[in-house]
């Protein structure tokens, strides 16, 4: 069974592999474009080039969100964190 640190390391490695193109394209954008316009164009391009890669990125974000949610649930229910912060 994988531990939390191993899962995070795998997510970071996958983010570096699949996010390298996004970083390169971001700096080539027109400065007049807004952030959302630039991101929406990138998402369209990702889907046109390789729909699987977009699904991997979405899955990674979903797994990261679930991991953080479970961590906070564990932190609140299994520790005395609320007492430590005075609640």
pLDDT at 14 over 90: no
Q: Where are the domains of the chain?
A: 4-84
Structure tokens belonging to residue 86? 């005075």
The whole-number average pLDDT for the span 25-29 is: 57
Q: CA nearest 17: which of 61, 66, 53?
A: 53
**pTM of the entire structure?**
0.47
- DSSP state, 75? H
Using one digit for the tens of pLDDT, what is the confidence trace for 42-78?
A: 778 777 888 888 788 889 899 999 999 999 888 888 8
């Amino acid at each position: 069974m994988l531990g939390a640190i191993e899962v995070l390391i795998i997510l970071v490695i996958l983010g570096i592999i699949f996010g390298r193109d996004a970083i390169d394209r971001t700096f080539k954008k027109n400065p007049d474009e807004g952030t959302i316009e630039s991101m929406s164009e990138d998402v369209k391009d990702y889907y046109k080039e390789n729909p699987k890669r977009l699904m991997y990125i979405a899955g990674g974000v979903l797994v990261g969100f679930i991991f953080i949610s479970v961590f906070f649930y564990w932190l609140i229910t299994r520790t005395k964190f609320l007492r430590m912060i005075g609640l």
